[in-house]
Each structure stands twice: as C-alpha cells, then as structure tokens.
Amino acid sequence: MGKEKFTLPSGRKVERVSIKGTKVTVKVLSLGATVEDIIYDSAEGSRHMILGYDDKSLYETNPYYFGACVARVGNRIGGARFTLNGKTYELEKNDGNNNLHSGKDCLCFRDWEISDLTDRSVTFMISSPDGDMGFPGEMTIRVKYTVTEDDALIIDYEGQSDADTIFNPTNHSYFNLGEDSDILSEMLKVDADCFTPGGKESIPDGTVSPVEGTPMDFRSFHKIGDRIDADFDELRYTGGYDHNYALTHDEVSEKYSLAGLRVFYAAELKDEKSGRSMKVYTSLPGMQVYTGNFLKGDVKDNTGKVVPHRGGVCLETQYFPNAINVPDFSQPIAKAGEITRSRTVYKFS
Ligand code: GLA
C-alpha cells in the first residue's frame, strides 16, 4: 500500500492510493474514486491493463470516463425521467433526450474521502445530498477496492439513502490486455444468452433478444473485431459493441461470494499473443460491453501514446440500462434506510 498526494494545475488536490497483489498493482484516485491504473508485472516487464490519461487534469472532466466510478447511476435513463413511489423525477438531458451516467454532476467528477485503508484495500466515501443529480434521498456511498494475493481486483459498492431511490454504480475501466493499440484482436466471452437491444438511442425498452445467430453472440470466445462491423442494425446504431448483456448467472463463484451476496461468472477477456487474461465476476444482472467506439485519437494514455478508436473495452457490470422505466427488468432500487450492496471482481492472470 502506498499513498501520495499531488496537485492539479487547477489547484485541486488529489490523493492516489496504490494497492498490490502478487503481480497486479492498482492505483486509485480520490478524484472520482477513479481507477487510474492496473499494472500487471511479468517476466516480460510491466504492462498497463487499462487506459488512463497521461494528462491527469483530464480526470476532472473525464471525457471518456476512463476508470470512472460512475454513480449514482451508470448508463442511460430514457427521456431523462423516471417515476418512483408515484413521484416523477427529472434528470439532466446530457445524451440527446436521455440521461447518461447521471449527467455532469456524476460522482465520478467529485472528490471522495478515504474512509479506510489497509495493506490491500482502500475505501472511498462520499455524501450525496437529497436531490443530487435529480435523484431522491440523501445518500452515503462507499466504494471499496481490494486487490487479493491472487491478483483479483474486487470492487464493493455500498449505498444507504434516507428515502427510496435508485442506485446503479458501475466501473468504466477500458481494458486492453495486449500490445496492440486497439482491442480488435482480443478474445471475449460473455456468459449471456440474451442482450437488451437499445435501438437508435441505446435505450432498452424491455425487449430481451437471444444472441444466437447474431454477431452479439459471445457465449464462446470470439475476437472482438471479427464481427464488430457486421451488417446488423444494433451494431450499426452504436458503431460497434455498446450493449447490455443479460447475464446467465449459471455459475456461482464460491470464492468471491459473500454472505447474502452471490457473485457469478460473467465474462472473460484474453489476449492470445501475450497469454494475459481477465475474468469478470459480478453480483449484478447485466454487463455493458462497450468497445470504445467514441474514442477518436484525441487523448494520450498512461504511457504517452495516443488512444485510438476502439483502444479499450469496457465491461461495465450493472442493472440493465433504463431499468427504472421497464418494470420487467430487475429494479436498481435502494430502499430507505437499507444498505444496498453489489460486488464486481476483475481477476487477472
Ligand atoms: C457507456 C455508454 C457508451 C458511452 C460510454 C462513455 O459505455 O454505453 O455509449 O457513452 O459509456 O463514453
């Protein structure tokens, strides 16, 4: 464990905590509770497993959500509006007619406080007032990052509100395990028989479609780039993968489950050339696969190299996007007074 402080050109003070497993070092920032870096050490040297900005001031606005802890609610809410307990709440429209990643006041742009620090873990805490970003309830949110001896990054989210509210935090790290500047040759497997088409605005409406026979099928390993530009409407709307998968949850991970919180195998990413791989486990029902289709070569990564189009892939575990407006979807609701938890694990080898 290491802790350091630095000051951005704006005068903003940031704390950086490094936690270590055996081969993996994870660096997290108090700014946004952001995962700044995941470094994998091997005989061939050190390798950055995620994208981070070389210019640290970019974390203040985080244009691509690199490593972001997106909260209170990740992904889109259709019409930037929802109704809870008979009352309608309006959110910022920052993605056409819709709300994306809780808008410009996302907790991923704020300063979090370190509430606990051990050799292998750090917990960040933030208080979000009633009405913050448009969401009801005064809420205390904690995110704990732990790196295990066997090189898993465990992310535990916890939220408690004084009124019923919606809560769907996720991590927006862009993984790139290989030596190529983009992720097109990396192999992906997703434990999902179905995905939730979002149409032209990426807003799932309750439709759950089988992946079978489509370029969305990752039930067995496929190269990400093989079918990414296929003539398939859902891929055309989003310029590549940017879709929520309905996870099968047919394989419990005894190792990562907690009392009262079952965690399931969700996905696997591997780079065949280097042999590096990552498994994803989560307690959450969905996972957004986003292949960095909006990246356009205008930022540099942690090594100073330009990040190209599709330079990383995000595997954002979550309740389904727009779930709050689709009663059939599992609801991302945090009940007043209760502690709402979720866990996601990224295990490297
Ligand atoms: C999510 C969305 C994408 C995009 C990114 C942020 O993954 O689904 O459409 O907005 O966040 O760039």
Series of mean pLDDT values for 10-residue runs along the chain (349 residues):
94 98 98 98 92 98 98 98 98 98 98 96 98 98 98 98 98 98 98 98 98 98 98 98 98 97 98 96 98 98 97 98 98 98 98
Expressed in angstroms and rounded, the spacing between residue 116 Cα and the centre of ligand 1 is 30
Residue 333: the pLDDT is 98
Work out the number of other CB atoms within 10 angstroms of the CB of residue 97. Answer: 11
Work out the number of other CB atoms within 10 angstroms of the CB of residue 235. Answer: 21
Mutate to test the pocket of ligand 1, among 51, 98, 241, 294 (most ligand atoms within 8 A of CB): 294
Residue 320: the pLDDT is 99
Residue nearest to atom 9 of ligand 1 (CA): 242
Residue 43: the pLDDT is 84
Expressed in angstroms and rounded, the spacing between residue 20 Cα and the centre of ligand 1 is 29
Residue nearest to atom 10 of ligand 1 (CA): 100
Expressed in angstroms and rounded, the spacing between residue 321 Cα and the centre of ligand 1 is 11
Mutate to test the pocket of ligand 1, among 75, 289, 296 (most ligand atoms within 8 A of CB): 75
Domain residues for 116?
Answer: 2-348
| CA 188 to mean position of chain CA atoms | 16
Expressed in angstroms and rounded, the spacing between residue 129 Cα and the centre of ligand 1 is 25
Q: Which atom of ligand 1 is nearest to the CA of 242?
A: 8
Residue 296: the pLDDT is 98
- CA 204 to CA 75: how far, in whole Å? 11
Residue 65: the pLDDT is 98
The Cα-based distances of 15 to 109, 113, 153, 314 in angstroms read: 14, 9, 19, 24
Mutate to test the pocket of ligand 1, among 61, 94, 100 (most ligand atoms within 8 A of CB): 100
Q: Report residue 32 as tokens.
A: 């946004």
- CA 239 to CA 229: how far, in whole Å? 7
Residue 102: the pLDDT is 98
Expressed in angstroms and rounded, the spacing between residue 248 Cα and the centre of ligand 1 is 23
Residues known to be catalytic: 172, 316
Residue 268: the pLDDT is 98
Residue 44: the pLDDT is 83
- CA 219 to CA 213: how far, in whole Å? 11
- CA 116 to CA 171: how far, in whole Å? 20
Confidence (pTM) = 0.98
Expressed in angstroms and rounded, the spacing between residue 3 Cα and the centre of ligand 1 is 30
Residue 287: the pLDDT is 99
The Cα-based distances of 183 to 147, 224, 251, 301 in angstroms read: 24, 7, 26, 14
Q: Which atom of ligand 1 is nearest to the CA of 70?
A: 11
Residue nearest to atom 7 of ligand 1 (CA): 290
Q: Look at the chain and report how many structural domains it folds into.
A: 1
Residue nearest to atom 11 of ligand 1 (CA): 75
Provide residues with CB under 6 Å of ligand 1. Answer: 64-65, 75, 100, 202, 242, 288, 290, 294, 314, 316
Q: What is the CATH number of the domain that holds 197?
A: 2.70.98.10
